[in-house]
Homo-oligomer: A and B are copies of this chain.
């Protein structure tokens, strides 16, 4: 069946959006639409231009026999700050404060559309980091981890608290919760993470960083490499932070549970987004 350009553009856009980071050969499209590769190239040029203009991402062309085109989802600085600004406004409601200085985020993390937007921001930041797998800890970080992983086109690995794991043999570690100073256990099924994997840790909330630190210890047990740590919300006012390098979108300061007060500001992500853009301009990735 012959396809007209207009139909090709619609179907190619759908295909590329569904397969981020994935090399699609020109022949695949040429055969699917029974069209010349030159026409396909023209289609891709239109798509690339529109994706870039609209802040959807970019297309990277790989030349040669094994070549093709790859969709890289990207969020521009402007769009990212819009997402974060929106988040800050929603989060700044003092009714969200829970006992222990925790924050009610369930409604935000329960909305797939918001979660997808946040996921795309993290994926943009980490798209050059050769991530093989996204790791998170049950339960609240899971949706976010999936959204990031979708855009990076990698699998998700879920670490569990406690021992309710029915997945065969496991590796468990003890860690000290940074805020409560209690010793806790974290478990990962042995077959769920390959040795030597490059891992991006994603979580919804970080105070002292005990949980994230626990995941870092698990990585060591699997001889895996830490490629980055992304948290949606970090809470300041902790005596001693257990984790050094991480990226946060939103930062809580002046948390006063008694007085029900929180101050919400933008996290440290901005400097990292700029780094990505500078690297791109220097053409290090192409």
Chain A interface residues (CB < 8 Å from chain B): 5-7, 9-11, 13-14, 17-19, 46-47, 49-51, 53-54, 56, 98-100, 102, 104, 106-107, 110-113, 115-116, 138-139, 142-143, 146, 149-150, 153, 155-158, 160-161, 164, 166-168, 189, 191-192
Contact = CB atoms under 8 A, between A and B. Distances in A.
Q: Which secondary structure characterizes the binding site on chain A?
A: helix
Contacts of A160: 139
Tally of this chain's copies? 2
A210 to B, nearest CB: 14
A71 to B, nearest CB: 11
A192 B146 contact: no
> Looking at A14, A100, A191, which has the most chain B CB atoms within 10 Å of its CB?
A14
A26 to B, nearest CB: 18
B10 A158 contact: no
Contacts of A51: 10, 14
B155 A110 contact: yes
Contact of A13 (B5, B10, B142): B10
Given A113-B153, A155-B107, A167-B98, A14 B11 contact: no
